[in-house]
Structure 1
Amino acid sequence: MSNPQNTTAGVFPRRSLTRVRALTVTAMLSAIAFVLMFLDFSVPLIPSFVKMDISELPALLAAFALGPVYGTVVCLVKNLIHLMITSTAGAGELCNFLLGASFVIPAGLLYRRMKSRKGALIGVLIGSVIMALFSIPLNYYVTYPIYSNFMPIDAILGMYQAIRPSVNSLLECLIVFNAPFTLVKGLIDAALCFLIYKSLSPILHKGM
Protein backbone atom coordinates (compact mmCIF):
# COMPACT_ATOMS: atom_id res chain seq x y z
CA MET A 1 0.00 0.00 0.00
CA SER A 2 1.37 3.39 -0.87
CA ASN A 3 2.04 6.06 1.70
CA PRO A 4 -0.66 8.81 1.49
CA GLN A 5 1.84 11.41 2.62
CA ASN A 6 4.23 10.55 -0.19
CA THR A 7 1.38 10.64 -2.72
CA THR A 8 0.27 14.07 -1.52
CA ALA A 9 3.84 15.34 -1.53
CA GLY A 10 4.16 14.22 -5.13
CA VAL A 11 0.92 15.84 -6.32
CA PHE A 12 1.33 19.33 -4.93
CA PRO A 13 4.83 19.99 -6.31
CA ARG A 14 3.62 18.84 -9.74
CA ARG A 15 0.61 21.15 -9.54
CA SER A 16 2.84 24.00 -8.46
CA LEU A 17 5.25 23.30 -11.31
CA THR A 18 2.40 23.20 -13.81
CA ARG A 19 1.10 26.54 -12.55
CA VAL A 20 4.56 28.10 -12.73
CA ARG A 21 4.93 26.95 -16.33
CA ALA A 22 1.46 28.29 -17.17
CA LEU A 23 2.38 31.66 -15.68
CA THR A 24 5.67 31.64 -17.59
CA VAL A 25 3.85 31.00 -20.88
CA THR A 26 1.34 33.71 -19.98
CA ALA A 27 4.12 36.20 -19.29
CA MET A 28 5.78 35.36 -22.60
CA LEU A 29 2.53 35.77 -24.53
CA SER A 30 1.79 39.03 -22.71
CA ALA A 31 5.16 40.43 -23.79
CA ILE A 32 4.51 39.42 -27.39
CA ALA A 33 1.03 40.97 -27.25
CA PHE A 34 2.49 44.20 -25.92
CA VAL A 35 4.94 44.38 -28.84
CA LEU A 36 2.17 43.62 -31.33
CA MET A 37 0.17 46.59 -30.02
CA PHE A 38 2.82 48.87 -31.52
CA LEU A 39 2.69 47.16 -34.91
CA ASP A 40 -0.64 48.76 -35.70
CA PHE A 41 -1.64 50.25 -39.02
CA SER A 42 -4.46 52.18 -40.65
CA VAL A 43 -6.89 50.48 -42.99
CA PRO A 44 -8.91 51.90 -45.90
CA LEU A 45 -12.43 53.25 -45.29
CA ILE A 46 -11.76 53.73 -41.56
CA PRO A 47 -10.63 56.99 -39.87
CA SER A 48 -6.87 57.02 -39.36
CA PHE A 49 -7.11 57.12 -35.56
CA VAL A 50 -8.77 53.68 -35.58
CA LYS A 51 -5.86 51.28 -35.94
CA MET A 52 -5.70 47.60 -36.79
CA ASP A 53 -3.41 45.29 -34.82
CA ILE A 54 -3.22 41.60 -33.97
CA SER A 55 -2.35 41.92 -30.28
CA GLU A 56 -5.31 39.69 -29.30
CA LEU A 57 -3.63 36.78 -31.06
CA PRO A 58 -1.36 35.84 -28.09
CA ALA A 59 -4.34 36.16 -25.74
CA LEU A 60 -6.34 33.78 -27.94
CA LEU A 61 -3.45 31.32 -27.92
CA ALA A 62 -3.38 31.50 -24.12
CA ALA A 63 -7.15 31.02 -23.91
CA PHE A 64 -6.98 27.87 -26.03
CA ALA A 65 -3.83 26.40 -24.49
CA LEU A 66 -4.30 27.35 -20.83
CA GLY A 67 -7.87 28.53 -20.41
CA PRO A 68 -9.90 31.74 -20.70
CA VAL A 69 -8.57 33.17 -17.43
CA TYR A 70 -5.00 33.14 -18.77
CA GLY A 71 -6.17 34.68 -22.04
CA THR A 72 -7.80 37.49 -20.08
CA VAL A 73 -4.60 37.98 -18.07
CA VAL A 74 -2.65 38.44 -21.32
CA CYS A 75 -5.13 41.15 -22.37
CA LEU A 76 -4.76 42.84 -18.97
CA VAL A 77 -0.97 42.72 -18.70
CA LYS A 78 -0.27 44.04 -22.19
CA ASN A 79 -2.55 47.02 -21.56
CA LEU A 80 -1.13 47.75 -18.11
CA ILE A 81 2.36 47.89 -19.60
CA HIS A 82 1.11 50.01 -22.49
CA LEU A 83 -0.58 52.39 -20.05
CA MET A 84 2.71 53.02 -18.26
CA ILE A 85 4.43 54.33 -21.38
CA THR A 86 1.62 56.17 -23.18
CA SER A 87 -0.65 59.12 -22.42
CA THR A 88 -4.13 58.26 -23.66
CA ALA A 89 -5.79 58.81 -20.26
CA GLY A 90 -6.35 55.06 -20.17
CA ALA A 91 -9.25 55.18 -22.64
CA GLY A 92 -7.53 53.17 -25.35
CA GLU A 93 -6.14 50.63 -22.91
CA LEU A 94 -9.48 50.15 -21.13
CA CYS A 95 -11.29 49.67 -24.43
CA ASN A 96 -8.64 47.29 -25.73
CA PHE A 97 -8.71 45.19 -22.56
CA LEU A 98 -12.50 44.91 -22.38
CA LEU A 99 -12.86 44.11 -26.07
CA GLY A 100 -10.03 41.58 -25.91
CA ALA A 101 -11.59 39.89 -22.88
CA SER A 102 -15.00 39.79 -24.57
CA PHE A 103 -13.29 37.99 -27.46
CA VAL A 104 -11.06 35.42 -25.73
CA ILE A 105 -13.38 34.45 -22.85
CA PRO A 106 -16.21 33.05 -25.03
CA ALA A 107 -13.67 31.45 -27.38
CA GLY A 108 -11.77 29.84 -24.51
CA LEU A 109 -14.91 28.65 -22.71
CA LEU A 110 -16.38 27.04 -25.82
CA TYR A 111 -13.10 25.38 -26.70
CA ARG A 112 -12.89 24.01 -23.15
CA ARG A 113 -16.32 22.37 -23.62
CA MET A 114 -15.61 21.20 -27.20
CA LYS A 115 -11.90 20.43 -27.49
CA SER A 116 -11.84 20.07 -31.24
CA ARG A 117 -11.18 22.17 -34.29
CA LYS A 118 -14.92 22.64 -34.65
CA GLY A 119 -15.19 23.84 -31.06
CA ALA A 120 -12.35 26.29 -31.59
CA LEU A 121 -13.96 27.59 -34.80
CA ILE A 122 -17.36 28.09 -33.15
CA GLY A 123 -15.65 29.75 -30.20
CA VAL A 124 -13.74 32.32 -32.24
CA LEU A 125 -16.77 33.11 -34.40
CA ILE A 126 -18.96 33.73 -31.37
CA GLY A 127 -16.16 35.65 -29.67
CA SER A 128 -15.67 37.86 -32.71
CA VAL A 129 -19.39 38.66 -32.92
CA ILE A 130 -19.61 39.43 -29.20
CA MET A 131 -16.56 41.68 -29.41
CA ALA A 132 -18.00 43.54 -32.41
CA LEU A 133 -21.38 44.09 -30.77
CA PHE A 134 -19.83 45.06 -27.44
CA SER A 135 -17.64 47.66 -29.18
CA ILE A 136 -20.72 49.80 -29.91
CA PRO A 137 -21.85 50.60 -26.34
CA LEU A 138 -18.29 50.54 -25.01
CA ASN A 139 -17.10 53.16 -27.47
CA TYR A 140 -20.29 55.21 -27.26
CA TYR A 141 -20.55 55.43 -23.48
CA VAL A 142 -16.93 55.09 -22.34
CA THR A 143 -14.12 55.43 -24.87
CA TYR A 144 -15.27 58.33 -27.03
CA PRO A 145 -16.54 60.46 -24.13
CA ILE A 146 -13.02 60.20 -22.69
CA TYR A 147 -11.46 61.01 -26.07
CA SER A 148 -13.72 64.06 -26.34
CA ASN A 149 -11.58 65.69 -23.64
CA PHE A 150 -8.78 65.79 -26.21
CA MET A 151 -10.76 66.09 -29.45
CA PRO A 152 -14.32 67.43 -29.79
CA ILE A 153 -16.95 64.89 -30.79
CA ASP A 154 -17.79 67.05 -33.81
CA ALA A 155 -14.21 66.70 -35.01
CA ILE A 156 -14.33 62.94 -34.52
CA LEU A 157 -17.64 62.76 -36.36
CA GLY A 158 -16.16 64.87 -39.14
CA MET A 159 -13.44 62.27 -39.72
CA TYR A 160 -16.09 59.63 -40.26
CA GLN A 161 -18.13 61.94 -42.49
CA ALA A 162 -15.08 62.56 -44.66
CA ILE A 163 -15.34 58.89 -45.60
CA ARG A 164 -19.14 58.60 -45.66
CA PRO A 165 -20.94 61.96 -45.60
CA SER A 166 -24.34 60.40 -44.92
CA VAL A 167 -23.55 59.39 -41.33
CA ASN A 168 -25.16 61.85 -38.91
CA SER A 169 -24.35 60.64 -35.42
CA LEU A 170 -21.59 59.00 -33.45
CA LEU A 171 -23.75 55.96 -32.79
CA GLU A 172 -24.33 55.50 -36.50
CA CYS A 173 -20.58 55.77 -37.10
CA LEU A 174 -19.88 53.08 -34.53
CA ILE A 175 -22.45 50.76 -36.12
CA VAL A 176 -21.37 51.41 -39.71
CA PHE A 177 -17.60 51.58 -39.20
CA ASN A 178 -16.33 50.34 -35.84
CA ALA A 179 -18.43 47.21 -35.35
CA PRO A 180 -17.54 45.66 -38.76
CA PHE A 181 -13.92 46.73 -38.24
CA THR A 182 -13.84 44.99 -34.85
CA LEU A 183 -15.46 41.88 -36.31
CA VAL A 184 -12.82 41.68 -39.04
CA LYS A 185 -10.09 42.21 -36.46
CA GLY A 186 -11.34 39.23 -34.47
CA LEU A 187 -11.58 37.06 -37.57
CA ILE A 188 -8.01 37.95 -38.59
CA ASP A 189 -6.73 36.99 -35.12
CA ALA A 190 -8.72 33.76 -35.34
CA ALA A 191 -7.34 32.89 -38.78
CA LEU A 192 -3.77 33.50 -37.65
CA CYS A 193 -4.38 31.42 -34.53
CA PHE A 194 -5.57 28.49 -36.64
CA LEU A 195 -2.48 28.80 -38.82
CA ILE A 196 0.11 28.75 -36.03
CA TYR A 197 -1.54 27.00 -33.07
CA LYS A 198 -0.58 23.47 -34.06
CA SER A 199 3.09 24.34 -34.55
CA LEU A 200 3.20 26.25 -31.24
CA SER A 201 1.21 23.67 -29.29
CA PRO A 202 4.25 21.72 -28.02
CA ILE A 203 5.68 24.91 -26.54
CA LEU A 204 2.39 26.12 -25.10
CA HIS A 205 1.55 22.74 -23.52
CA LYS A 206 5.05 21.66 -22.48
CA GLY A 207 4.92 20.27 -18.97
CA MET A 208 1.16 20.85 -18.64
Structure 2
Amino acid sequence: MSNKITLTGQMTQKTSAKTLTKVSILSVLAYIIMLVEIPLFFFPSFLTIDLSDIPALIGGFTLGPGAAIAIQLVKNILHLVTKNTTGGVGELANFLVGSAFVVPASIIYLKNKTKHGAVLGMVVGILSMVIMGVIANYYITLPFYTKFMPMDKIIAMSAAANGAIVDMKTLILYAFVPFNILKGTVVSIITGLFYKKLSPILK
Protein backbone atom coordinates (compact mmCIF):
# COMPACT_ATOMS: atom_id res chain seq x y z
CA MET A 1 0.00 0.00 0.00
CA SER A 2 2.78 2.42 0.89
CA ASN A 3 4.48 1.80 -2.45
CA LYS A 4 1.25 2.62 -4.29
CA ILE A 5 0.84 5.82 -2.29
CA THR A 6 4.44 6.82 -3.02
CA LEU A 7 4.01 6.10 -6.72
CA THR A 8 0.79 8.14 -6.83
CA GLY A 9 2.51 11.01 -5.07
CA GLN A 10 5.42 10.94 -7.52
CA MET A 11 3.04 10.95 -10.50
CA THR A 12 1.14 13.89 -9.01
CA GLN A 13 4.37 15.82 -8.48
CA LYS A 14 5.49 15.13 -12.05
CA THR A 15 2.13 16.25 -13.42
CA SER A 16 2.24 19.42 -11.32
CA ALA A 17 5.79 20.15 -12.46
CA LYS A 18 4.82 19.67 -16.10
CA THR A 19 1.80 21.92 -15.73
CA LEU A 20 3.88 24.59 -14.00
CA THR A 21 6.45 24.41 -16.80
CA LYS A 22 3.75 24.81 -19.46
CA VAL A 23 2.18 27.74 -17.61
CA SER A 24 5.60 29.38 -17.26
CA ILE A 25 6.39 29.03 -20.96
CA LEU A 26 2.99 30.37 -22.01
CA SER A 27 3.30 33.25 -19.52
CA VAL A 28 6.66 34.35 -20.92
CA LEU A 29 5.31 34.04 -24.45
CA ALA A 30 2.27 36.15 -23.49
CA TYR A 31 4.57 38.77 -21.95
CA ILE A 32 6.70 38.96 -25.10
CA ILE A 33 3.60 39.33 -27.27
CA MET A 34 2.27 42.00 -24.88
CA LEU A 35 5.28 44.17 -25.73
CA VAL A 36 4.11 44.39 -29.35
CA GLU A 37 1.38 47.03 -29.48
CA ILE A 38 -0.53 47.57 -32.71
CA PRO A 39 -2.06 51.06 -33.18
CA LEU A 40 -5.40 51.39 -34.97
CA PHE A 41 -6.14 54.66 -36.76
CA PHE A 42 -9.90 54.38 -36.18
CA PHE A 43 -9.47 54.25 -32.39
CA PRO A 44 -7.97 56.86 -30.01
CA SER A 45 -4.17 56.71 -30.06
CA PHE A 46 -3.97 55.39 -26.49
CA LEU A 47 -5.85 52.23 -27.50
CA THR A 48 -3.45 49.75 -29.07
CA ILE A 49 -4.06 46.05 -29.59
CA ASP A 50 -1.77 43.41 -28.18
CA LEU A 51 -2.47 39.73 -28.74
CA SER A 52 -1.11 38.45 -25.43
CA ASP A 53 -4.43 36.81 -24.55
CA ILE A 54 -3.74 34.11 -27.15
CA PRO A 55 -1.31 32.06 -24.98
CA ALA A 56 -3.66 32.46 -21.99
CA LEU A 57 -6.63 31.24 -24.03
CA ILE A 58 -4.67 28.29 -25.42
CA GLY A 59 -3.50 27.49 -21.89
CA GLY A 60 -7.07 27.70 -20.63
CA PHE A 61 -8.34 25.35 -23.33
CA THR A 62 -5.56 22.87 -22.61
CA LEU A 63 -4.88 23.16 -18.88
CA GLY A 64 -8.04 24.74 -17.49
CA PRO A 65 -9.21 28.16 -16.25
CA GLY A 66 -6.76 28.17 -13.33
CA ALA A 67 -3.85 28.02 -15.75
CA ALA A 68 -5.40 30.79 -17.84
CA ILE A 69 -5.61 33.07 -14.79
CA ALA A 70 -2.04 32.21 -13.81
CA ILE A 71 -0.77 33.08 -17.30
CA GLN A 72 -2.59 36.42 -17.22
CA LEU A 73 -1.22 37.16 -13.76
CA VAL A 74 2.42 36.29 -14.49
CA LYS A 75 2.31 38.13 -17.81
CA ASN A 76 1.18 41.33 -16.15
CA ILE A 77 3.59 41.00 -13.24
CA LEU A 78 6.47 40.69 -15.73
CA HIS A 79 5.18 43.72 -17.62
CA LEU A 80 4.85 45.70 -14.39
CA VAL A 81 8.39 44.85 -13.31
CA THR A 82 10.01 45.61 -16.68
CA LYS A 83 7.89 48.50 -18.01
CA ASN A 84 5.91 50.04 -15.12
CA THR A 85 4.47 52.91 -17.16
CA THR A 86 1.14 53.15 -15.29
CA GLY A 87 2.09 52.25 -11.74
CA GLY A 88 0.32 48.91 -12.06
CA VAL A 89 -3.05 50.39 -13.02
CA GLY A 90 -2.80 49.34 -16.67
CA GLU A 91 -1.61 45.88 -15.68
CA LEU A 92 -4.47 45.48 -13.21
CA ALA A 93 -7.02 46.42 -15.85
CA ASN A 94 -5.36 44.15 -18.40
CA PHE A 95 -5.45 41.25 -15.92
CA LEU A 96 -9.12 41.78 -15.06
CA VAL A 97 -10.28 42.21 -18.65
CA GLY A 98 -8.10 39.40 -20.00
CA SER A 99 -9.18 36.99 -17.27
CA ALA A 100 -12.83 37.86 -17.89
CA PHE A 101 -12.26 36.70 -21.47
CA VAL A 102 -10.24 33.50 -21.07
CA VAL A 103 -11.87 32.03 -17.95
CA PRO A 104 -15.46 31.62 -19.20
CA ALA A 105 -14.16 30.60 -22.64
CA SER A 106 -12.02 27.81 -21.19
CA ILE A 107 -14.73 26.62 -18.77
CA ILE A 108 -17.29 26.27 -21.55
CA TYR A 109 -14.81 24.57 -23.89
CA LEU A 110 -13.66 22.05 -21.28
CA LYS A 111 -17.30 21.06 -20.71
CA ASN A 112 -17.88 20.66 -24.45
CA LYS A 113 -14.65 19.93 -26.33
CA THR A 114 -16.03 20.49 -29.80
CA LYS A 115 -15.75 23.25 -32.38
CA HIS A 116 -19.18 24.46 -31.31
CA GLY A 117 -18.05 24.49 -27.66
CA ALA A 118 -14.94 26.49 -28.53
CA VAL A 119 -16.90 29.05 -30.54
CA LEU A 120 -19.57 29.38 -27.85
CA GLY A 121 -16.89 29.74 -25.17
CA MET A 122 -15.09 32.48 -27.07
CA VAL A 123 -18.31 34.38 -27.80
CA VAL A 124 -19.27 34.29 -24.11
CA GLY A 125 -15.70 35.26 -23.26
CA ILE A 126 -15.84 38.29 -25.55
CA LEU A 127 -19.12 39.45 -23.98
CA SER A 128 -17.65 38.99 -20.50
CA MET A 129 -14.54 40.87 -21.61
CA VAL A 130 -16.61 43.79 -22.87
CA ILE A 131 -18.55 44.03 -19.59
CA MET A 132 -15.39 43.87 -17.49
CA GLY A 133 -13.76 46.40 -19.83
CA VAL A 134 -16.55 48.89 -19.16
CA ILE A 135 -16.20 48.40 -15.40
CA ALA A 136 -12.38 48.53 -15.40
CA ASN A 137 -12.17 51.62 -17.59
CA TYR A 138 -14.92 53.50 -15.74
CA TYR A 139 -13.61 52.81 -12.25
CA ILE A 140 -9.86 52.16 -12.71
CA THR A 141 -8.08 53.34 -15.86
CA LEU A 142 -9.91 56.58 -16.71
CA PRO A 143 -9.87 57.92 -13.12
CA PHE A 144 -6.14 57.15 -13.05
CA TYR A 145 -5.36 58.94 -16.32
CA THR A 146 -7.38 62.01 -15.35
CA LYS A 147 -4.80 62.61 -12.62
CA PHE A 148 -2.30 63.41 -15.39
CA MET A 149 -4.58 64.69 -18.14
CA PRO A 150 -7.95 66.45 -17.80
CA MET A 151 -10.93 64.44 -19.04
CA ASP A 152 -11.80 67.09 -21.62
CA LYS A 153 -8.38 66.61 -23.25
CA ILE A 154 -8.86 62.83 -23.27
CA ILE A 155 -12.25 63.36 -24.88
CA ALA A 156 -10.80 65.77 -27.45
CA MET A 157 -8.03 63.29 -28.31
CA SER A 158 -10.61 60.53 -28.70
CA ALA A 159 -12.97 62.72 -30.74
CA ALA A 160 -10.21 63.19 -33.30
CA ALA A 161 -10.57 59.48 -34.11
CA ASN A 162 -14.34 59.28 -33.62
CA GLY A 163 -16.53 62.38 -33.69
CA ALA A 164 -19.32 60.57 -31.82
CA ILE A 165 -17.22 60.71 -28.63
CA VAL A 166 -18.27 63.77 -26.63
CA ASP A 167 -18.02 62.66 -23.00
CA MET A 168 -16.88 59.81 -20.76
CA LYS A 169 -19.91 57.62 -21.45
CA THR A 170 -19.59 57.90 -25.22
CA LEU A 171 -15.84 57.31 -24.90
CA ILE A 172 -16.56 53.98 -23.25
CA LEU A 173 -19.44 53.15 -25.59
CA TYR A 174 -17.81 54.09 -28.90
CA ALA A 175 -14.16 53.38 -28.14
CA PHE A 176 -13.59 50.82 -25.37
CA VAL A 177 -16.56 48.57 -26.16
CA PRO A 178 -15.86 48.10 -29.91
CA PHE A 179 -12.13 47.93 -29.16
CA ASN A 180 -12.60 44.97 -26.82
CA ILE A 181 -15.01 43.30 -29.24
CA LEU A 182 -12.42 43.63 -32.01
CA LYS A 183 -9.57 42.46 -29.82
CA GLY A 184 -11.50 39.46 -28.52
CA THR A 185 -12.56 38.51 -32.04
CA VAL A 186 -9.02 38.70 -33.42
CA VAL A 187 -7.63 36.67 -30.50
CA SER A 188 -10.41 34.09 -30.94
CA ILE A 189 -9.79 33.70 -34.67
CA ILE A 190 -6.04 33.27 -34.27
CA THR A 191 -6.51 30.84 -31.38
CA GLY A 192 -8.99 28.84 -33.45
CA LEU A 193 -6.49 28.60 -36.30
CA PHE A 194 -3.55 27.42 -34.19
CA TYR A 195 -5.02 25.62 -31.16
CA LYS A 196 -5.39 22.18 -32.74
CA LYS A 197 -1.80 22.33 -33.98
CA LEU A 198 -0.40 23.39 -30.61
CA SER A 199 -2.58 21.40 -28.20
CA PRO A 200 -0.79 18.03 -28.78
CA ILE A 201 2.49 19.67 -27.76
CA LEU A 202 0.97 21.13 -24.58
CA LYS A 203 -0.79 17.90 -23.69
What's the TM-score, normalizing by structure 2? 0.96
Task: Give 1:166 shift.
Answer: 3.5
Alignment correspondent of 2:33: 36
Q: How many residues are paired up?
A: 202
Q: 1:184 to 1:165 in 2, by over 3 A?
A: closer
After TM superposition, the structure 1 = structure 2 runs for residues 49-60 of structure 1, keeping only pairs within 5 Å, are: 49-60=46-57
After the TM superposition, list the runs of 4 or more consecutive aligned residues in structure 1 that deviate by more than 3 angstroms.
none
After TM superposition, the structure 1 = structure 2 runs for residues 6-155 of structure 1, keeping only pairs within 5 Å, are: 6-86=3-83, 87-155=85-153
Distance 1:141 1:66 in 2: 32
**Deviates further, 127-136 or 65-74:** 127-136
Letter in 2 for 1:109: I
Q: Deviations over 1:112-133 (max 9, x none)?
A: 2112221111101100111012
Q: Determine if contact 1:136/1:171 at 8 Å carries over to the other structure.
A: no
Task: Give 1:184 shift.
Answer: 1.2
Q: 1:199 to 1:166 in 2, by over 3 A?
A: closer
Root-mean-square deviation (CA), in Å?
1.1
Task: Give 1:135 shift.
Answer: 0.8
**Structure 2 residues not aligned, in runs of 5+:** none
Task: Give 1:41 shift.
Answer: 1.2
Task: Give 1:10 shift.
Answer: 1.5
**Helix, strand or coil at the partner of 2:48:** coil
* From 161, 182, 196, the counterpart of 1:184: 182
Q: Determine if contact 1:91/1:147 at 8 Å carries over to the other structure.
A: no
Distance 2:158 2:119 in 1: 33
Letter in 1 for 2:54: L
Letter in 1 for 2:149: M
Distance 1:184 1:112 in 2: 24
Identity of aligned residues (%): 35
Distance 1:93 1:147 in 2: 14
